[in-house]
Amino acid sequence: MIFATVAPAGQLDCPSDLHSRKPLHLLEFLTPSRIAVREPLVDVDAVMTRLVALALPWSPAREDTLREVKARESVFPTALGDGVALPHVRSANVQTVTLSAVALQHAIPFGSRDGSDVDLFVLVLSPINAPSEHLKMLRAVAKLVAQPATIRALRHAPSVAAFLKIVQQSPSF
């Protein structure tokens, strides 16, 4: 199981809550409603739009946050290689650390350093005043996708439930 030391979504009332030492599982941040598998999206804009919509379905600041994510990607693409990308941004529009994930039916170009197209995306959104928590979450997600077998399993998960089971079975840190 993957753990991070930040408060789960919905429990961040003040910056001091962000420094909790209680280990937390990624599943507290990556809920079923924030995951899409076998998505037929074919371009970067559609993927970014879907990721932000999953992360912030009811937020009036969704479009502003989408612009921030796209701006961050234009500076330096967050493709990690092996078909995985980890777009992320710290935003004044976000009150809690939030994750979303999309696994595509077919990989798309995303500016990967290894030249590989990307079909597995995990978005990390964090409050602007939480830089260390943002880094902790990035580290936790990066550890999740560090193993080729885990990447393959996530990309080929036939359902959200199967995707979550893979996340749940991942080694802790």
Which tens digits make up the pLDDT trace of 40-55? 999 999 999 999 999 9
Confidence of residue 21 (pLDDT cuts 50, 70, 90): low
78 vs 17, more confident:
78
Nearest CA to 33 out of 100, 121, 118 is that of 100
> From CA 89, how far away is CA 67, in angstroms rounded?
10
Rounded CA gap, 44 and 148, in Å? 23
pLDDT at 172 exceeding the cut of 70: no
**b/e string for 54-75 if b means 16 or more Cβ within 10 A?**
bbbeebebbeebbbbbbebbee
Alpha-carbon gap, residue 168 to 173, rounded angstroms: 13
Instruction: Reply yes or no on whether the pLDDT at 163 is more than 80.
Output: yes
- Which distant-in-sequence residues (6+ apart) come within 8 Å of 40 by Cβ? 104, 105, 106
Does position 131 have pLDDT exceeding 90, yes or no?
yes
pLDDT at 156: 96
What whole-number distance in Å separates Cα of residue 72 and Cα of residue 77? 8
**pLDDT (mean) for 73-90:** 94
More confident residue, 130 or 11: 130
> What is the structure's pLDDT at 15?
36
pLDDT of residue 28: 86
Q: pTM for the complete prediction?
A: 0.87
